[in-house]
Amino acid sequence: MSDVRIYVEEAPGQRREIEGPTDMGLNLMELLKASGYPIQATCGGMALCATCHVEVLAGPLLPEPGDDELDMLETLPAVLEGSRLSCQIRLTPHTDGLVVRLAPVG
């Protein structure tokens, strides 16, 4: 079993490392929730609620967002340059080293 490391920027210059398995089909939203971050994920990871919105700051190139994710991101009042729905980011060895920040709610 291999783990992936994700860095969460909690404040400017302050990053917390969290780890998750890559062989359980988990997504980043699930890892963030399991790590204690206040993500509601009311749709359960279906790209329908956008409460799992994160901003990708750095790290490996991710697969492009799908149509469902893009449609949902368009409904947000403030879309940031690296905006993604964390439930649509699957944890794989390729996501190792990803740096994200939780987007402000609302």
Greatest extent of the chain over all pairs of C-alpha atoms, in Å: 39
Alpha helices in the chain, H assignment, sequence order: 28-34, 67-74
Q: For the CB of residue 52, give the shortest distance to ligand FES in the complex, in Å.
A: 3
**Helix (DSSP H) and strand (DSSP E) numbers for the chain:** 2, 5
Among 4, 32, 45, 56, binds ligand FES (CB under 6 A): 45
Q: Nearest approach, Cβ of 62 to ligand FES (angstroms)?
A: 15
| Residue count of the chain | 106
Smallest distance, ligand FES to C-beta of residue 31, A:
12
Q: Which stretch binds ligand FES (CB under 6 A): 4-12, 18-26, 41-49, 98-106?
A: 41-49
Q: Which stretch binds ligand FES (CB under 6 A): 3-11, 15-23, 45-53, 98-106?
A: 45-53
CA distance 59 to 74: 23
Q: Which of 105, 88, 106, 89 is nearest to 46 (CA)?
A: 88
**Which residues, numbered 61-90, are part of the site for ligand FES (CB under 6 A)?**
72, 85, 87
In the complex, which residues of this chain contact ligand FES (CB under 6 A)?
29, 41, 43, 45, 47-52, 72, 85, 87
